[in-house]
Amino acid sequence: MEGNIESPTFSSVVHLQRPHFLPDVADDPDDVLKAHFNDPNYDFATASSTEPWSAEADAKTKWRGGSVAYSGIPDVDTESQLSATSRLPESKLLQARVPAAECVHVNLSPYPEVRAAVSNTDDPEMLVNTFRVWFLGILFALIVPCYNTVIVLRMPFVLINTLVVQLITLPLGKLMEKVLPHWKITVFGRSMSLNPGPFTIKEHTLISIMANVVVGGTPVTDIAATESFFYGNSWPVGKQFLLGLSCQILGFAYAGIVRQFLVWPSSMIWPGILVRTAMLNTMHRTYGTKETRHMSRLKFLYLASACSFIWYWVPGYLWTGLSVFNWVCWIAPNNIVVNSLFGTLNGLGMGLFTFDWSMISILDSPLVVPWWAQVNMFATFVVVIWFLSPILWAKNVWYSQFLPLSAPLGFDNTGLPYDPSAVVTDGRFDQAKYARYSPMYLPMTFAITYGTCFATYTAVIVHTFLWYRHDIKRQFRRTLADERDIHSRLMMAYPEVPHYWFAGLGVVAFILGIISIQVCKTGLPVWAFILSLLIAFVFVVPSGIVMAITNQQMPISVLSEIIFGYMLPGRPLATMVFKSFATNTASQAQVYVSDLKMGHYMKIPPRVMFTGQVITSIIAVISSIVGQHWAFNHIEDICTPTQKDRFICPMLNTYATASVIWGGIGPQRLFSRGALYYPLIFSFPIGAILPVPLYYLARRYPRSHWRYVHVPVALLGVDMVPPANGMNFSSWFIVGTVFQWFMRRYHFRWWMRYTYLLSTGLDVGVILGLIAFFVVLQVPKSGIALSWWGNNVWLKTADALGTPLNMLAPGETFGPTQWS
């Protein structure tokens, strides 16, 4: 027995964990409750336990009632480490009689999601800043944004995302490990070996982080393309680079400011990052080895990916009706009411489920989003979309019976899609043309979700103030050394990035922004540019908290368009630039912060990570602009409806249309007093009021379900409608209930071991299936179609045709006869 104490497995677990001694006195459960009152992911049942803890007892513990007594072993490698630990003498197994939550703070995270995906050990000597990292990271920064920027001009398109990069990086890294010579080179005065040793998980992580900041390219390409194709004003590459660089790196400054709120606290778990860390740990832990006790995680990941890839061809090509699955409409294809309620293309999607993972995960993977968040979102969806919307539609509110019940675009008074070019002259809004043409009308669900979107903005500010004001105030004074969880203590081995690094980058980006809006003649005043950055700053922490605890993004594009449309109407270009600075700065800050959290989990030196993010971000701006410039100069008839290779620029058309609607027609013609959709403005105060009574109910009954009612999250899900519909929501919630409630509650060990890997495998399989489908069946001229009943039946319904309840005769219109 004594020989087993020094086993390598156990030593690897504890060797690099910093000691953290706790008093031999249990905390008052009420104190724990107060400390974690605003954290819906925290398990109060575990925190209240004061039973002695041991690894042997934990091995026999079952998941009950939403909690589990937690062992001191990271679940990234639970079984093997548990067996090693359980052989220790009893004197080494028994711990102080303290709450399980406090045991967690010693060497583990208090969150099972984190324990399932992140190791609680670190080796500060592991290779990370290597030639392989910079070669592959820069290579991806050159290729990925260039490809994504060009391919998004095509319909359909398939983008390369971070999971694909993460998947192919390991074989590339291992290949370089085998073929590169052990020569040394000097770069900027630093000596570096071409092949310093085995390819490590930290190298893999840093490459993944460098790729993640570039997959979206830069928003300046959308602005420049819109100016060129829709407004006839081409920008030189140099001007695009100035504006793009400013937009791209301003988010770094915000990330440096908010990292102590969104990265360091253990309560900011970032579920989406856990999927990536689970994949990394799985790929490296069992690479080249076999497990005999059970199916290895790597084998499970590959099996899930293969099954997902194979299955995707069924709803994606062989029987596309299984994807949209508006099966009730197949029975009554011409019944408008049935198609409006059960349709999944222009209806409410009451058919309940789909067989296509890409349709289920359109709201994000249900295997990742916490179940309490799914309940909030689905309950609000049922009330607002399945209950309120049909009632208003039946009463013909906002002339909604002349339009499809649910569609993601505006219409004119003849029931046809709104044509922005009909109200534009020489790239500017034309009031006379607008008066001759038509006001813009919104389908019922589209209008309703504008209301929920407005409510979300005020709700998230009020909710953050009520629930997190004390935490934010406390975090202002805290450093990484003040954090108690294991990952923060392990990160103390690495120097943090100084605040002045982020501040200096922010100052440079700010100056570039002022120069670029003047040089590019955007029509955006400097004071409006500063206001756009203030809007982003106000929302970066509230929206970041929502993202960190639920994996749900909260874009502020609509808010920025409305604010600028009221301030300076009639300036489409300025509207686009204002929106880009406000929206992209906040969203990029979230991307950078999420990567900082990934580096925090995987123990990547922050300064190396900062350097990699900045360099690849700058390269991505150049790569995106060059890629788009090449496409516009070498693809014949690009962005025209008859382009032979289908480079018809669908996303660009949508972007340009939004610039006309919000920068030309303006929000005042839609939402001001006397306008058709004026009642939706009251959503702003409603959103501000809703969190208040719910907060005080939660304070009055802290152990009740009121603590899990999260108004911003509840409203945020509805903002996805349209294009999402009831089929997406219901199937998403069903799958989420199976895994995030049933499996987690009754089969906790399986959930800990495989859930995040299953989510990753399903996503990877669909992505690879889309790429294969695109290359094999759609790239060939005219494509290769499969025509039969299963692929045609859903196309012959009123749902697919978008047929409204009240059809107009040719030349007939609805609504007012005069407008301005």
Closest CA to 735 of 277, 182, 353: 353
- Six token digits for residue 510: 């700010």
Q: Which residues contact 102 (CB under 8 A, 6 or more apart)?
A: 22, 26, 27
- Six token digits for residue 179: 């073929």
Position 396 scores a pLDDT of: 95
Position 45 scores a pLDDT of: 58
Closest CA to 224 of 655, 569, 561, 634: 655
Which DSSP helix (H) or strand (E) runs through 428? strand 428-429
Position 541 scores a pLDDT of: 93
Position 31 scores a pLDDT of: 54
Position 283 scores a pLDDT of: 85
Say what the pTM is.
Answer: 0.84
CA distance 368 to 221: 32
Q: What string of DSSP letters covers 427-484?
A: TEE-HHHHHHS---B--HHHHHHHHHHHHHHHHHHHHHHHHHHHHHHHHHT--GGG--
Position 693 scores a pLDDT of: 95
Longest CA pairwise span in the chain (Å): 92
Q: Which residues contact 28 (CB under 8 A, 6 or more apart)?
A: none
Closest CA to 771 of 159, 310, 208: 159
Q: Cα–Cα–Cα angle for 623, 626, 630, nearest 5°?
A: 135
Give yes or no for a contact between 618 and 245, defined as CB atoms under 8 angstroms apart.
yes
Q: Which residues contact 592 (CB under 8 A, 6 or more apart)?
A: 213, 251, 252, 254, 255, 613
Instruction: Compute how many other C-beta atoms are within 10 angstroms of the C-beta atom of residue 808.
Output: 14
Position 287 scores a pLDDT of: 63
Which DSSP helix (H) or strand (E) runs through 602? helix 585-602
In sequence order, what are the beta bridge partners of 362? none
Q: What is the mean pLDDT of each run of 10 residues along the chain (820 residues)?
A: 36 39 43 67 57 37 35 40 35 36 59 87 92 95 92 77 88 93 82 90 95 88 85 84 91 91 90 90 74 76 93 92 92 94 92 90 89 94 95 95 90 89 78 90 92 94 92 81 84 92 94 92 92 94 92 89 89 90 92 94 95 94 92 85 77 78 86 92 95 93 89 90 90 95 90 89 89 79 81 92 91 87
Closest CA to 500 of 380, 416, 338, 610: 610
Closest CA to 274 of 747, 767, 758, 749: 758
**Distance of alpha carbon 235 from its chain centroid, rounded?**
31
- Six token digits for residue 700: 């009055």
Position 635 scores a pLDDT of: 85
| 570 phi and psi angles, rounded to 5 deg | 80, 20
Give yes or no for a contact between 215 and 160, defined as CB atoms under 8 angstroms apart.
yes
CA distance 261 to 274: 18
Position 220 scores a pLDDT of: 87
Torsion from C-alpha of 70, 76, 80, 85, nearest 10 degrees? -40
Closest CA to 3 of 66, 95, 119, 88: 88
Per-residue pLDDT of 731-758, as tens digits, reads: 999 999 999 999 988 998 899 888 988 9
CA distance 26 to 716: 39
CA distance 292 to 616: 41
Strands (E), 106-198: 184-187, 190-193
Q: What string of DSSP letters covers 325-343?
A: --HHHHHSTT-HHHHHHH-
